[in-house]
Amino acid sequence: MRKTKENKEQLIRDPVCGMWIEPDDAADIMLYEDKIFYFCAPGCKKAFEKEPEKFIKVNQEELSTEK
Ligand SMILES: [Zn+2]
């Protein structure tokens, strides 16, 4: 189910492994605290389900250090 790349798809980051993926390529997604998280593999989602706070926190810290 790949779309043609007519417009630049926004890449989103898997919060668990840090891999950038296209939303359409996500193996799994999860809604948590009104945010949708995308995962490159089912295993990443499982890890996130165990400790969502941990991965969200890491993600935010990294974002805050970027411009
Ligand atoms: Zn992953």
pLDDT at 18: 94
Would you say how long the chain is, in residues?
67
For the stretch 24-44, pLDDT in tens is 999 999 999 999 999 999 999
- 65 CA to centre of ligand 1 in angstroms: 21
- 6 CA to centre of ligand 1 in angstroms: 26
Please name the helix (run of DSSP H) or strand (run of DSSP E) that holds residue 29, with its range, or none.
Answer: strand 28-32
Cβ-based neighbours of 64, under 8 Å, separated by 6 or more: none
> Rounded to the nearest 5°, which phi and psi values hold at 57?
-60, -45
Q: Does the predicted TM-score (pTM) go above 0.85?
A: no
Q: Amino acid identity of 41?
A: A
- 16 CA to centre of ligand 1 in angstroms: 6
Confidence band for 53, pLDDT divided at 50, 70 and 90: very high
